Amino acid sequence: MTIEQPVSAGRSGGRAARRAARSAPLTADMRAIHPGLEGGTLKVMTDAEVLRIHHAALDALEHIGLADAPQSGIDLLTSVGCSYGADKRLRFPRALVEDMLAKANRDVTLFSRDGKTDLDLRGTRVHYGTAGAAVHMVDVDGSHYRDSTVQDLHDAARICDALDNIHFVQRPMVCRDIADNLEMDLNTIYACCAGTYKHVGTSFTDPSYVKPAMELLHLIAGGEDKWRERPFVSNSNCFVVPPMKFATEACLVMEECIRAGMPVLLLSAGMAGATAPSTVAGAIVQAVAECLAGLVYVNALKPGHPAIFGTWPFGLDLRTGAMTGGSGEQALLTAGCAQMHRFYDLPGGAAAGIADSKLPDMQAGWEQMCSNVMAGLSGLNMVYEAAGMHASLLGFCHESLILGDDIIGQALRCVRGIEVTDETLALDQIAEVCLGGSGHYLGTGQTLSRMQKDYVYPTLGDRTSPKEWVEKDKPDLIQKAVAKKEFILSQRAPARFAPDVDQAIRQQFNIHLPA
């Protein structure tokens, strides 16, 4: 290749022009990161090891099976080829599992309410969001924990709606100020959907609660037909009680949700060393086996119904029995599960971003970043519990949710990876700078043109020099998050319901949030 000595083009515009260009709002195609970036470059297991996991899971289903299915589940699963033994366990022949895998929906889209933030779960597209059932709110000002409320949940949804790197809102906490379980389930849907347009995930305490919940969702959607066309809420369903038992009531909930057109998350959440084998490989085997059983269940009831393969094994500190959501073992569990999802080419989800730390401190930062990056690089479609979760899922923090948006932004940049093209190899730039140019790349046209496309800049993270930091009165990261939270919550929620819709909902249901 011949490189000609270039003529320096000089600078176009001064510092003010460059600052104006940097401060201008970015269009979607200009952003360095976005929802649905394709991961999958990280493989924590070899192809041979993935096959061993797969065959071990099939062996477990064929020879051990699952207990405690509801009678409707027994009838359904035996009708498609399962056997029901004298020990009251359903066993799944390998051929049946493979047949149902062939019927499974691999083209799942989780819809948003306004159509602007739909989630395409094909392949290795990565999305980060919230989840969990925290019973406490973390008060960063007083460094204490208190019961979480429906207002806290609504505020969390509103904050998520304003954060670019939170792509979906699965209920992250329990409304402990609502004693009645039906009212809690209905108010959970109301609080989340009135706070965000993004896809929402929720659960139901009892199968009889699904019908009134659907009536609420039909009101929000503008009719049952519109709901079924674009279901913007999915059911997070713990259909199994590890090890290898169906959760009877949750299976009945799942059946009702499928009939109502609601996507389901098939969630297996064994604890390695307690309700799942203590080895990383063994915990993955059990989670895969349980979710394969769920996949057979779903597709026996309605072939091709949208379902997420939710392998969520958690780690334990075997010295104490305490959950360790922020451990390296947890990151490996999640990455290994993502690799199994890729093997089956199924839309999948798992947990990452959990902090064992009680507050948004340095420990929380390393715990959240480790598993979030590994989950994304592994190509996990739905990264649940990715921001805001503390104390091993017991506490949720609004400020940590906001800080987590910065963490996930950096994780997504890692997922995007390195593009190697004629342009990015930058040989022409090297020639221009070195052969008669300025000797540096600061301010060149190529640098300025790509500074927004290639780089992710933290919203709250501080990159100033010590001198500038002092001149700015030593800004505190937590206080910056508090200020952003207060600003978001001072605005009217963009996703709030139209007055006539809200009035119709309040006439039919006991909504605890003030109008």
Residues 342-361 have pLDDT tens digits of: 999 999 999 999 999 999 99
Q: Could you say which DSSP state residue 235 is in?
A: E
DSSP states of 123-143: TTEEEEEE---B-EEEETTTT
Q: What percent of the chain has pLDDT over 90?
A: 90
The pLDDT tens digits of the residues spanning 163-183 come to 999 999 999 999 999 999 999
Q: Is residue 110 part of a domain?
A: yes
23 pLDDT band (50/70/90 cuts)? low
Per the prediction, the chain carries an average pLDDT of 94
Q: Is residue 71 part of a domain?
A: no
Please tell me whether residue 247 adopts helix, strand or coil conformation. coil
Angle between helices 150-161 and 181-193 (to 10 degrees): 20
pLDDT of residue 444: 87
**212 vs 221: CA distance, rounded Å:** 14
pLDDT of residue 4: 47
Is residue 194 within 8 A of residue 156, CB to CB? The reply is no
Residue whose entry in the numeric block shows the structure tokens 């009035």? 503
Q: Is residue 228 part of a domain?
A: yes
**367 vs 403: CA distance, rounded Å:** 13
**248 vs 280: CA distance, rounded Å:** 27
The pLDDT tens digits of the residues spanning 83-102 come to 999 999 999 999 999 999 99
**97 vs 291: CA distance, rounded Å:** 11
Question: Which of 23-27, 334-338, 462-466 is least confident?
Answer: 23-27
Residue 263: partners with Cβ closer than 8 Å, 6 or more residues away: 108, 110, 231, 234, 235, 305, 306, 307, 308
Q: What are the angstrom distances between the C-alpha of 343 and each of 85, 94, 120, 271, 307?
A: 31, 16, 18, 23, 16
The pLDDT tens digits of the residues spanning 414-445 come to 999 999 999 999 999 999 999 988 999 998 88
Q: What are the angstrom distances between the C-alpha of 500 and each of 182, 222, 232?
A: 24, 11, 20
Is residue 320 within 8 A of residue 279, CB to CB? The reply is no
The alpha carbons of the chain give a radius of gyration, in whole angstroms, of 25
Q: Is residue 332 part of a domain?
A: yes
Residue 224 CB-density burial (10 A; 0-12 exposed, 13-18 middle, 19+ buried): middle
Please tell me whether residue 90 adopts helix, strand or coil conformation. strand
12 pLDDT band (50/70/90 cuts)? very low
Q: What are the angstrom distances between the C-alpha of 87 and each of 64, 68, 291?
A: 10, 10, 21
Q: Is residue 95 part of a domain?
A: no
30 pLDDT band (50/70/90 cuts)? confident
Is residue 341 within 8 A of residue 383, CB to CB? The reply is no
Q: Residue 449 pLDDT more than 80?
A: yes
pLDDT of residue 141: 86
Q: Could you say which DSSP state residue 496 is in?
A: P
Total domain count, the chain? 1
Residue whose entry in the numeric block shows the structure tokens 């939270």? 485
pLDDT of residue 175: 98
**84 vs 66: CA distance, rounded Å:** 10
The reply to whether omega before 243 is within 30° of 0 (cis) is yes
Domain that holds residue 212: 101-416
| Predicted TM-score (pTM) of this structure | 0.94
Q: What are the angstrom distances between the C-alpha of 455 and each of 33, 445, 451, 463?
A: 9, 16, 6, 14
The pLDDT tens digits of the residues spanning 276-333 come to 999 999 999 999 999 999 999 999 999 999 999 999 999 999 999 999 999 999 999 9
CA angle 249, 252, 253 (to 5 degrees): 90
Q: What is the mean pLDDT of residues 362-366?
A: 97
Both tokens assigned to 70: 């509801």
Q: Is residue 328 part of a domain?
A: yes
Q: Is residue 322 part of a domain?
A: yes
Is residue 176 within 8 A of residue 149, CB to CB? The reply is yes
CA atoms within 13 A on the CB side of 366: 4
Q: Could you say which DSSP state residue 441 is in?
A: -
Q: Residue 9 pLDDT more than 50?
A: no
**99 vs 101: CA distance, rounded Å:** 5
**125 vs 99: CA distance, rounded Å:** 25
21 pLDDT band (50/70/90 cuts)? low
The pLDDT tens digits of the residues spanning 234-247 come to 999 999 999 999 99
According to DSSP, the β-strands at 66-67 and 89-91 are antiparallel
The pLDDT tens digits of the residues spanning 457-489 come to 999 999 999 999 999 999 999 999 999 999 999
* CATH of residue 113: 3.20.20.480
For residue 38, the surrounding DSSP H or E stretch is strand 37-38
According to DSSP, the β-strands at 144-147 and 83-84 are unpaired
Q: Residue 129 pLDDT more than 90?
A: yes
Dihedrals φ, ψ of 200, to 5°? Answer: -115, 140
Q: What are the angstrom distances between the C-alpha of 223 and each of 91, 194, 218, 388?
A: 40, 17, 5, 34
Q: Is residue 506 part of a domain?
A: no
Of 279, 310, 280, which Cα lies nearest the Cα of 293? 310
Is residue 256 within 8 A of residue 247, CB to CB? The reply is no
DSSP states of 317-334: ETTTTEE-TTSHHHHHHH
**296 vs 308: CA distance, rounded Å:** 13
Both tokens assigned to 269: 């959440």
pLDDT of residue 445: 86
pLDDT of residue 11: 44
DSSP states of 67-111: E---HHHHHHHHHHT-EE-TTSEEE--HHHHHHHHHHS----EEP
Pairwise pLDDT comparison (109 vs 446), residue with the higher score: 109
Residue 254 CB-density burial (10 A; 0-12 exposed, 13-18 middle, 19+ buried): buried
The pLDDT tens digits of the residues spanning 136-164 come to 999 998 889 999 999 999 999 999 999 99
Q: Considering all CA atoms of the chain, what is the largest pairwise distance in Å, rounded to the nearest integer?
A: 85
Both tokens assigned to 242: 């590890």
Question: Which of 23-27, 77-81, 425-429 is least confident?
Answer: 23-27
Q: Residue 6 pLDDT more than 80?
A: no
Q: What percent of the chain has pLDDT over 70?
A: 94
pLDDT of residue 14: 57
